[in-house]
Amino acid sequence: MILLQGVSKIYKMGEENIFALNNINLNINRGEFLAITGPSGSGKSTLLHIIGGLDRVSHGDIFVDQISLNSLSDQALSTYRNQKVGFIFQMFNLDPSQTAMENVALPLLFSNIKESKDQIATSLLSWLGLADRLKHKGSELSGGQRQRVAIARALVTRPKIILADEPTGNLDSQTSREILNILSYLNQHLGVTVLLVTHDPKAAEIAPRVLRMQDGKIVN
Amino acid sequence: MKFYSALSFALKNLRRRKLRTVLTVFAILIGTTLISSMVSLGVGLQQIVVKGLKSTGELTDINVYQKETGKALDTETINKLENLPDVARVDPMVTLMADEVSLSGFQKKASKSLVTAVPGEATNIFKLIASSPDFSLQGKTAVVGENFLKEFSNDYPERFLGQSLNLTFGQKNLVLKIIGVAQGENILGYGIFIPLSQASEIKTMANYDSLRVKANSVQKVAGISKTIKEMGLEAVALDDLVDRVTKYFRILELALGSVGIIILGVASLGIINTMIMATLERTREIGVMRAVGASRRDILKIFSLEASAIGFIGGIFGVLCGWGITLILSSLLNNYLAAKNITETQINLFALPWWLITGIVAFATLVGLFSGLYPAIRASRMDPVEALRNE
């Protein structure tokens, strides 16, 4: 489903070239649950951003369902992110002044989904155990609740790929386990391809396949 | 992203930051209030002047005069003009200056009064507010303006019908019976109108002083005027005058509105500042929007609509405030005039037609849009990864 061929991402720092990703070759099948581990600065998040279409490669190519992301315009790449990908961030990235429902419905503003936005948001939040928190603002929710709202937002356009960047980084161990179980459920029962970036080896254990990165390269 | 969704989202964003939105809108409001109240003054004055002009005659009338060394206004000229296409009629007029005018039953005498001699059929020149049952401007008859009669008495106009009017021209005298009173709305209300036959008793009439040419329609006036000028005569159409006055008032309105435009220009700097602050504060929000599928164009649309909405709201409220100010000022003015017994009729010094309202609101919206363009472009060009990292 996802194929990376000779992918590099280079940042210029004055005269120096920094390789955030260095000649990555990777094949991820549909429905896989892949954990990506490594120390800080190893390129884990950059890999996620490239796969998610948030950033473009400097060299190489990346194919998702046989479509080259390099060939896509900004508009097409935005549509890809909206329809095929769901992001979950460490810092949740919810708007604290908006309600849980409004946060979840945000991707629907940029989609062509004709169903009621409120209905979709309500059903997702209810499924994630937040039926009584629909009208609560982001700032009124606990860390675990916020991350579940973020998961609901990531799922609202029914994407095929979930990209979770350190989703348990700001949570306690019990809440972390709950979040990881949700990701596992999405993968096993709904067939969603999940890429989980984590520096926590215990969190990585939930994934059947683990990738280790260092200095922009895959080392295992 | 659909336009309606973007607009709804933009308005929601403005509501979330109420104080900042209100303060920015207020700056636009001041500018548009000034524009609407000042320009409505210009439009109101223009309407008063044009209405006054139009009441002096019909838009289909062309006043013809002899040029200094030009063709004479004689019977031959009248015949030529009557034969022009689209000319309904030609009325010759002679102007006399009475040294003294007296009215039977009154001791007072008026001096140096303008008397106009017209053909008996040309009674469309003035509007009658009172007339004898057998009205016919022939022989020893006259029509007198309402305002002229007020110099003698404030009595109702019908009172003067049948009275004798004594006109003295040097050694010559005319005694005429008043058979009609002309409306006093304009300059015709101060005039005295007598039949052409009476004028010939005062002076020899080789030529006429002026001709009033009536066109079949307003659309034909310009063409007929041109032909008359080509014949070597002076032609003045009311339509021309109205056009010229309208043009001058447009310049006046622009001058009056320029103060408000300058203030709007300053307010636009406020919008730019507000929007730049908004994009900086919402950097991470922009990153999240990009992550969930917003394109650069979507971001540009959202921020541009926010800025335009500020302009639009400021425009609407500015027009309302301007209208309110003009109502208060009009009321104060009319109360003052009534207290001083200057006039019984209400004067509408201000006018706010629909084209002015729409124009002001559209202009304010455009000011908002253009002011917000740079910040919106900046927001759309943000790197989403960097934006997401923003604290």
Q: Do B290 and A54 touch (CB under 8 A)?
A: yes
Mark yes or no for CB contact A55/B388 under 8 Å.
no
**Confidence label for B344 from pLDDT (cuts 50, 70 and 90):** low
Chain B CB within 8 Å of residue A5 CB:
no
Q: What are B92's strand-pairing partners? A: B211
Partners of residue A52 in chain B, C-beta under 8 Å: 291
The domain tally of chain A equals 1
| Residue range(s) defining the domain that contains residue A201 | 2-218
Q: How many domains does chain B have?
A: 2
Write out the two tokens for A209: 């396949």
Let me know whether B202 and B269 are in one domain. no
Q: CB–CB of A56/A117 below 8 Å? A: no
B292 close contact with A: CB closer than 8 A? yes
B7 touches chain A (CB under 8 A): no
Select the residue of B1, B287, B384 nearest A109 (Cβ to Cβ). Answer: B1
B15 domain residue, yes or no? yes
Per-window interface: B 253-282 vs A, CB < 8 A: none
Q: What is the mean pLDDT of residues B43-53?
A: 83
User: Which among B9, B284, B293 is the nearest to A93, CB-wise?
Assistant: B284
Question: Do A95 and B288 make contact, defined as CB atoms within 8 angstroms?
Answer: yes
Are B155 and B40 in the same domain? no
Determine whether the interchain pair B292/A89 forms a contact, defined as Cβ–Cβ distance below 8 Å: no
Domain shared by B211 and B83, yes or no? yes
Q: Using CA coordinates, name the residue in chain B closest to A52.
A: B291
Is B285 an interface residue toward A (CB < 8 Å)?
yes
* B157 inside 8 A of chain A by CB: no
Nearest chain B residue (CA) to A104: B292
In a domain, B223, yes or no: no
Largest Cα–Cα distance of chain A, in whole Å? 55
Same domain? B17 vs B90: no
Full domain range(s) for residue B293: 3-54+244-389
* Same domain? B66 vs B208: yes
DSSP β-bridge partners for residue A161: A85, A193
Contact B114, B192 (CB under 8 A): yes
Please indicate if any CB of chain A lies within 8 Å of the CB of B385.
yes
Chain A residues in contact with B380 (beta carbon < 8 A) = none
Predicted confidence (pLDDT) per residue in B198-249, tens digit: 888 888 777 888 898 988 888 888 899 999 989 889 888 877 777 888 888 8
pLDDT band for position A60 (50/70/90)?
Answer: very high
The pLDDT, as a whole number, for residue A195 is 95
- pLDDT, tens digit, 9 for 90 and up, residues B57-96: 677 888 898 887 777 888 888 999 999 999 998 988 888 8
Angle between helices B296-339 and B238-281 (to 10 degrees): 130
To the nearest whole Å, the CA of B379 is away from the closest chain A CA by: 15
Q: Residue B151: its pLDDT value, please?
A: 82
By CB atoms closer than 10 A (0-12, 13-18, 19+), residue B85 is: exposed
pLDDT of B362 > 90? The answer is yes
Answer whether residue B305 is part of any domain: yes
Which CATH number characterizes residue A83's domain?
3.40.50.300
User: Who contacts A54 (Cβ-Cβ below 8 Å, separation ≥6)?
Assistant: A81, A87, B290, B291, B384, B385, B388
Q: pLDDT tens, A24-42?
A: 999 999 999 999 999 888 9
Is the domain of B8 the same as that of B89? no
Residue of chain A whose Cα is closest to the Cα of B390: A93
pLDDT level of residue B250 (50, 70, 90 thresholds): confident
Size of interface A-B (CB pairs under 8 A): 62
Clarify whether residues B282 and B251 are in a common domain. Answer: yes
ipTM exceeds 0.90, yes or no: yes
In a domain, B227, yes or no: no
* Alpha helix segments (H runs only) across chain B: 3-16, 18-55, 75-82, 146-149, 196-199, 218-230, 238-281, 283-291, 296-339, 354-380, 384-389
Torsion-angle region of residue B96: left (phi > 0), alpha (psi -120 to 50) or beta? beta
Q: State the smallest CA–CA distance between residue A75 and chain B in angstroms.
A: 5
Whole-number pLDDT of residue B126: 73
**pLDDT grade, residue B342 (50/70/90)?**
low
Q: What's phi and psi for A183, nearest 5 deg?
A: -60, -40
Q: Distance (Å, rounded) from C-alpha B17 to C-alpha B27? A: 16
Cα separation, A125 vs A140, in Å, equals: 15
B339 and B373 in a single domain? The answer is yes
Cα distance from A118 to chain B (closest Cα, Å)?
14
What is the secondary structure of A132-170 as a DSSP string?
GGTT-BGGGS-HHHHHHHHHHHHHTT--SEEEEESTTTT
User: Which residues, at least 6 apart from B330, have a Cβ–Cβ distance to it below 8 Å?
Assistant: B347, B348, B349, B350
Residues B176 and B251 grouped into a single domain: no
The DSSP element (H or E) to which A179 belongs, if any, is: helix A173-190
Query: To 10 degrees, the CA torsion angle through A188, A191, A197, A200?
Result: 0
State the best of B288, B290, B377 to mutate against chain A, taking most chain A CBs within 10 Å: B288
CB-nearest partner of B293 from A89, A98, A107: A107
Which tops the pLDDT comparison, A183 or B256? A183
Segment A139-142 long-range contacts (CB within 8 Å, at least 24 positions apart) = A139/A96, A139/A97, A141/A94, A141/A100, A142/A175
Whether residues B204 and B300 share a domain: the answer is no
Q: Does A111 touch chain B (CB under 8 A)?
A: yes
Interface check for B284 against chain A (CB to CB < 8 A): the answer is yes
B386 near A CB under 8 A = no
For B285, nearest residue in chain A (alpha carbons)? A95
What distances in angstroms separate CA A41 from CA A20, A47, B62, one per listed residue? 8, 11, 89
- The H or E element containing residue B17 is none
Amino acid in the structure at residue B106: F
Residue B96 shares a structural domain with residue B206: yes
Same domain, yes or no, for B313 and B209? no
- B240 close to A (CB below 8 A): no
Q: How far apart are CA B209 and CA B309, in angstroms?
A: 62
